[in-house]
Amino acid sequence: MKDFSVTVVFLIVTLFVIVAIVFSPNVNVGFAVSSLYPGYALPLSYVVNSFLVFPNVSSTISRVFDVSDTVIYRYGYVSYDGQPWTPFTLTTSNVVSGDWIYTKGTASISFTLAQLRMSLSRNVSNNTFVVVYSCSRTTSNAWDCHDGWQITKFDAMITVPTSPALVCTPNVKGCLSTTVFRQCNSVGSTWVNNNCPTGQTCSGAGICSTPALVCGDGVCNNGETCSSCPGDCGTCVSSLNTFYIDPNGVDSSSRSGSVSLPWKTLAYACSQVKTSGSVIHVNQGTYTETQQCVLAPRVSIEGVGASSVIKSAITSAPTIYLYSSSVTNGNQHISGIKMDGNNLAAYEPLVIDKRSNVEVHDCAFINFYFSGVSFYGEDLGDDVPPNDFCLNNTFYNNMITNCASFNVEGSPGNLQIDGQQGMRVYNNVITQTARGAGADGFGLKCVQGLNKDLKIYNNTITIDNDDETQFDFAMEFWDSLGGIEIYDNRIQGVVDLAGHFGRKGSYPYTYSVHDNILGPDVLKTTSRHGIYIENTNDLSDIYIYNNMFQNLNNPIKIETWSTASFSNIQIYYNVFYNIGTVGGGWNTNGFCEGYQSGYTLDNLKFYNNVFIAAIVAGANPNSAIQIPGKGTTTNVEIKNNIIMNFNSAISTGYSGGTIKGVIIANNIFYNNGATISWAGTVPTSVSESNTIISNPSFTSPTDFHLNPSSPAINAGINVGLTSDYDGYSVPYGIAPDIGAYEYRP
């Protein structure tokens, strides 16, 4: 069962509570605050707030640790004698603005994860000290924090290990951090802090030493190798047909590129390695590339992960280019590298042009100016399908951040896909929010499109523009040829089903959009859409089902161009939740049309959806379903839906066209101003039956399962659907239920 509550997540944990014991020279045994402060103990009865701090943030949104997070830093003050909580100096490095913040009291504000380095300090005068820890996710539900701290998901209680108190006696030592130790002076009155020598860490009783190899800590360092520690350094590649680059290598024909005689740059290695089945291995380090790498077919690139960094200085071409003059079996992969565009100075990281069977996985692409990763097929001109499609390319487990510009040569995307068949895109994180007003490009874009059998799933795509000066397309499709399936994604931004045409061909659908979450986490003051359906000629066979549309004022909009023909659009078992804006004055419709006239639209179906308008100032909830009325619309069915809190449940917004054949049956309308409002074009051949005006009796305001007493149970009509939003069989009882969830006791 899916949880639709935006607010419940915020209410689970707003502050973390530290349970510890107050230190005192008279206390010999107790719970130590940590091994960083082995001498400070607090009484068991003392409870204080744990909090995170980050400068220059003013938002007031709270949240809990999530399984998608990877690193959390927590630090705070504790005062055992009632002295006020006071600021302390924070030293930061590699900081990304907007980090999560928890402060003393009830205020808590949102942040993105970043690496923070901060000074540990203790104010002796008021016995206030700072505790700093880093925590990492070890499993889907648990966090492991250094020095014995443990956080379990949704569990705010934190406990610490036992340790004897450490009293300042002459010359005694103790660790303050992994690199700082303290030593009591010779008279036993004052602690003095000292830094460990470079390369050494503090452990035990304040002893600095060179750390032993720790295989399994996730970091390849201190002499670890792929042979001695494959878990940290990656699996060793075979020396047969494997060539190496290394920051200390030399680009020279006198070198073989072997593990002992590596080259220095990726571009040089690509120019030398042409043998089928070869691998270019990118050792740990940073490589500044000034020449393009043209990668031959059947030659792969492998790095060791985020520490294999390709930093590009190429300003007008892709840094890595897989090009063939006609569609060719690449049979190759690129994995385990990080490509850095040098703060938008470099043009684009990677282009795969007319290659099949190419895998790109476990890579990161950041801060390229023009676009991100592109898969291009055979280009025979606009609207002309390829004679030969690129087959079975895959893009998975990657991260693309800030790699697309808006309104530059067609507004490119962080991931671009054209002329592909059988491509799979999954488990990626694509984010484009950093460039400011009118400058952020798209998430995924099909530049010319002409794709078929394309599946996009389990991705997180965020294109969240508040300025309304540009399209905020998370995905833009163009001239699709069938079998385009979009599912199990978390999407902030518009999914644009566009082009001059869209046809299903030999597939059961042109587009199937299902089981996604679309929309921001909270209502916005600006207009936000979920899905556009638009084209200039013909578009048919679109199935939109089992999606959560949240915090949008127009979840689905059909852009009805004057020359367009639409047919067979089915929208069923979706939840449209909290639909509206906050004080923005934008019209709100669950489904609505654009402004063009002259189109034709036939066979539009709405089955078993739940539409809930937001009840906030400025939400302006016009209608749940606005039947297009500026062109010629025929055969509309609205059955088994629950609609709440709108000015009218069903309406026509525009006039000037014709609407013929509307069936409205077995719906529940509750707390709406009107059930039906034909304010625009008045339909002909309208049938309305079995409408229920009653509270549908949901499990909660944010959970739209039905209570046992709900009037929706067994009150629906058979529309040929066999499973509900949760995937359970329909019907469960003597007839289908109304709404998105079939009641099951």
Q: How confident is the model at residue 616 (pLDDT cuts 50, 70, 90)?
A: confident
pLDDT over threshold 70, residue 506: yes
Q: How confident is the model at residue 569 (pLDDT cuts 50, 70, 90)?
A: very high
**So what's the pLDDT on residue 489?**
96
Lowest mean pLDDT among 30-34, 314-318, 553-557: 30-34
Number of CB atoms found within 10 A of residue 399's CB: 17
Of the chain, the percentage scoring pLDDT greater than 70 comes to 69
Q: What are the residues facing 350 on neighbouring strands?
A: 320, 373
pLDDT over threshold 80, residue 108: no
Of the chain, the percentage scoring pLDDT greater than 90 comes to 59
**Mean pLDDT value across residues 157-174:** 49
**So what's the pLDDT on residue 471?**
81
Cα gap 209→571, rounded to integer Å: 65
Q: Which residue has the higher pLDDT, 610 or 99?
A: 610
Q: How confident is the model at residue 202 (pLDDT cuts 50, 70, 90)?
A: confident
Identity of the amino acid at 648: S
**Mean pLDDT value across residues 165-193:** 67
**So what's the pLDDT on residue 69?**
34
**Mean pLDDT value across residues 70-83:** 32
Cβ 303 vs Cβ 334: under 8 Å: no
Q: Which residue has the higher pLDDT, 56 or 358?
A: 358
Mean model confidence pLDDT for the chain? 77
Three-state SS at 126:
helix
459-500 per-position pLDDT tens digit: 999 997 665 667 889 999 999 999 999 999 999 999 999 999
**So what's the pLDDT on residue 101?**
30
**Mean pLDDT value across residues 359-378:** 96
Of the candidates 388, 409, 309, the one whose C-alpha atom is nearest the C-alpha of residue 349 is: 309
**So what's the pLDDT on residue 608?**
98
Q: What are phi and psi of 126, to 5 degrees?
A: -115, 15
CA atoms within 13 Å, Cβ hemisphere of 473: 28
**So what's the pLDDT on residue 439?**
86
Cβ 383 vs Cβ 417: under 8 Å: no
Cα gap 682→638, rounded to integer Å: 16
Residue 234: enclosing H or E segment and its boundaries? Answer: none
Residue 513: enclosing H or E segment and its boundaries? Answer: strand 511-514
**Mean pLDDT value across residues 332-346:** 97
Domain boundaries, the chain: 6-167, 169-208
**Mean pLDDT value across residues 153-171:** 40
647-660 per-position pLDDT tens digit: 999 999 889 999 99
pLDDT over threshold 80, residue 298: yes
Q: Which residue has the higher pLDDT, 15 or 700?
A: 700
535-548 per-position pLDDT tens digit: 889 999 999 999 99
**Mean pLDDT value across residues 315-338:** 97
Q: Which residue has the higher pLDDT, 64 or 696?
A: 696
Cβ 138 vs Cβ 162: under 8 Å: no
DSSP 357-386: EEEEES-EEE--SS-SEEEE----STT---
Q: What are the residues facing 17 on neighbouring strands?
A: 49, 157
2-61 per-position pLDDT tens digit: 333 333 323 232 322 222 222 222 222 222 222 222 222 222 222 222 333 222 222 222
**Mean pLDDT value across residues 192-202:** 72
Of the candidates 666, 532, 534, the one whose C-alpha atom is nearest the C-alpha of residue 601 is: 534
**Mean pLDDT value across residues 156-176:** 49
pLDDT over threshold 50, residue 90: no
Q: Which residue has the higher pLDDT, 582 or 157?
A: 582
DSSP 329-365: EEEEEEES-EEE-TTTTS-EEEEEEEEEEEEEES-EE
Cβ 552 vs Cβ 579: under 8 Å: yes
pLDDT over threshold 80, residue 95: no
Q: What are the residues facing 611 on neighbouring strands?
A: 576, 643
Q: Cα separations (Å) of 643 from 666, 704, 717, 727, 738?
A: 12, 12, 16, 22, 11
**So what's the pLDDT on residue 556?**
97
Please measure the distance between the N-terminal and C-terminal CA atoms of the chain and give it in whole angstroms. Answer: 14
pTM beyond 0.85, yes or no: no
**So what's the pLDDT on residue 176?**
62
**So what's the pLDDT on residue 227?**
62
Q: How many residues are there in the chain?
A: 745
Lowest mean pLDDT among 432-441, 550-559, 732-741: 432-441
Q: At CB < 8 A and 24+ separation, what contacts does 257-264 make?
A: none
pLDDT over threshold 60, residue 637: yes
217-247 per-position pLDDT tens digit: 666 655 566 666 776 666 555 546 999 999 9
CA atoms within 13 Å, Cβ hemisphere of 551: 19
**Mean pLDDT value across residues 432-455:** 91
**So what's the pLDDT on residue 575?**
98
Q: How confident is the model at residue 527 (pLDDT cuts 50, 70, 90)?
A: confident
pLDDT over threshold 60, residue 614: yes
Three-state SS at 302:
strand
pLDDT over threshold 70, residue 571: yes
Of the candidates 303, 364, 358, 310, the one whose C-alpha atom is nearest the C-alpha of residue 330 is: 358
Cα gap 319→315, rounded to integer Å: 9
Lowest mean pLDDT among 140-149, 205-214, 217-226: 140-149
pLDDT over threshold 60, residue 121: no
Q: How confident is the model at residue 208 (pLDDT cuts 50, 70, 90)?
A: confident
Give the strand pairing for 16-19 and 101-102.
Answer: unpaired
**So what's the pLDDT on residue 183?**
76
**Mean pLDDT value across residues 496-509:** 94
